[in-house]
């Protein structure tokens, strides 16, 4: 896993990577980098889900992002009202 992250940052050339994957998991460094990217996105989505009220009941990433957008817009409106 650390090797794949190093590849993403450009610290290690793809030619030097030797990876042994569990059955059903990719060994190609590009596939590993893509899996790490997806895991990071999922972790960030989970963090947003925990921060925004009512998001934990929403199913699907697109719906969750819609809820987050609505929440942030309502916060912006509240700030605008309080500062005027």
Q: Number of folded domains in the chain?
A: 2
pLDDT confidence tier of residue 1, bands split at 50, 70 and 90? low
Same-domain pairing of 40 and 57: no
- 43 and 5, same domain (yes or no): yes
pLDDT digits (tens, 9 = 90+) for 37-83: 999 999 999 999 999 988 888 788 899 999 999 999 999 999 999 99
Residue with tokens 């989970």: 46
What is this structure's pTM? Answer: 0.59
Please tell me the least confidently modeled range out of 5-9, 28-32, 71-75.
Answer: 5-9
Q: Please indicate, yes or no, whether residues 1 and 32 belong to a single structural domain of this protein.
A: yes
For 43-59, b where at least 16 C-beta lie within 10 A, e where not — what string?
A: eeeeebbeebeebeebe
Q: Quick one: 33 and 71 in the same domain?
A: no
């Amino acid at each position: 896993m650390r090797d794949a992250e190093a590849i993403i940052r450009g610290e290690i050339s793809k030619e030097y990577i030797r990876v042994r994957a569990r059955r059903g998991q990719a060994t190609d460094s590009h596939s590993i980098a893509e899996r790490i990217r997806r895991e990071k996105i999922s972790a960030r989505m989970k963090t947003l889900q925990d921060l925004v009220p009512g998001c934990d009941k929403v199913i699907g990433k697109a719906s969750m992002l819609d809820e987050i957008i609505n929440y942030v817009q309502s916060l912006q409106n509240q700030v605008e009202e309080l500062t005027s």
